[in-house]
Amino acid sequence: MVSLAELSPPLALGTLDGRYRPVVAPLVEHLSEAALNRCRLHVEVEWLIHLTAHGVVPGAGTLSESEQQELRALIEQFDADSIVELAAIEAETVHDVKAVEYYLRRRLVDRLGRDDGIGELVHFACTSEDVNNLSYALMVRGAMTEVWLPRAQALVEQVSGMARELAGIPLLARTHGQAATPTTMGKELAVLAHRLSRQLRRIEGAEYLGKLNGATGTYGAHLAAVPDADWQQVSRGFVEGLGLTWNPLTTQIESHDWQAELYADVARFNRVLHNLCTDLWSYISLGYFAQVRGQGSIGSSTMPHKVNPIRFENAEANLEVSDALLDVLASTLVTSRLQRDLTDSSMQRNVGTALGHSLLAIDNAGRGLAGLDAVPAAMSADLEANWEVLAEPVQSVMRALAAAGDESMANPYERLKELTRGRRITGADLRDFVRDLGLPQEAEQRLLALTPATYVGLAPELVAHLNQP
């Protein structure tokens, strides 16, 4: 038997690098192993430039403007050859960050011709976590702002657009699975769009923290080497220069609380999106939406009539996988034994997978939404078959009159319960009941004009809240 594990090029073990690669490929730019090494190189280059440009180490060499540009070009030119070379160095060092340090020191010689002492400022006074925490902050920020957030925002706008379009389409609500006070399809979609938007605002406001303060967060090596430097200000200026928020108090690791906060918010967005998918699945099963547009795929291998809601089901599954990973990331990253253990290092390598499954779900939900056409006739038919839902407005009018002193309107809830509970009534049944109540003419006419389809309250107007923060 042919060994699949030995085929070349290597086969993907997971779906994100196999079947679903086209959807999640943009995340590779930010959260892959190669992206991590490129970001480490970026941090090392900028730290070297920062030290030399500010004369932090007295007597050390400087870098000209052109030399700085040449070093920064290493990040832009980071390619397959760079990856291979780094892997070869790491095979010798058995240490990934040290491999990046040696890679950069080589470039100082072969690209800049600098074999002087300036090479000793590469990774100066740094622990590996100084480089790693800044790299992950930059990587996650890039993945969120350049890939995940734009996709999520587009999806929410897609849901919001449907909500506005269907704002006035009446819908039989179901609470506990039973017929309940009518609403509109647009208002129900607006509820979900509003919830998703709120989570996006939290995610958009995320802080990305970073630190550079040595092996146990004390600047011990820094101070020993250059006691007269204001190392806190040097560190703060460097971290903020990367566009990150400086964390002044850490152990060897940056505490990762910001990551836990972000992943919890993304997981919550996922869960609201999961709710959207299950609701749409239910509406499709009730016939309120037809899956017609762009559905050229086979629904069932044996039943030609079927078009299955697979986009929403696929989204649900991927959201559940994403949340399982995001939850464990959020709960694990906030704990580190004493000043350092390696749990966070292994955990953070799964961030790309967690966001990848979320991104895949967003893509599937969007494609599912794009294939839906509302079927108002089906919604109307259900409303027409459930006149008992108007027991609520009738008894509410009776309550108001009874509260104002009309004793003939007493016990309205019990009287409507006797009429409607456990059986279906028709429009004629309800109107006969209303006529026999002896209501004031204005109230009677208002109730006689009411139908399940018009008993939607302010639902159409409520959709306008989507335009507000």
Report the alpha-carbon distance of residue 104 to residue 360 in Å, rounded. 36
Paired residues of 289 in beta bridges: 374
Report the alpha-carbon distance of residue 293 to residue 274 in Å, rounded. 22
From the CA atom positions of the chain, what is the Rg in Å?
31
**300 tagged catalytic:** yes
DSSP code of 218? S
Question: Which of the following is catalytic: 66, 176, 301, 346?
Answer: 176
Residue 350 · residue 325 · CB < 8 Å: yes
**408 tagged catalytic:** no
Going by their DSSP bridges, the two strands 245-246 and 372-374 should be labelled as unpaired
The 3-state DSSP class for residue 219 equals coil
Q: How far is CA 214 from CA 79, 102, 239, 254, 339, in A?
A: 30, 19, 14, 11, 11
Q: What ranges in 77-166 are assigned the alpha helix state H?
A: 80-93, 96-110, 128-143, 149-165
Paired residues of 210 in beta bridges: 246
Kind and range of the H or E run holding 9: none
Question: Which of the following is catalytic: 64, 285, 297, 300?
Answer: 300
Of 166, 185, 183, the C-alpha closest to 175 is: 183
Residue 387 · residue 376 · CB < 8 Å: no
| Residues identified as active-site | 176, 300
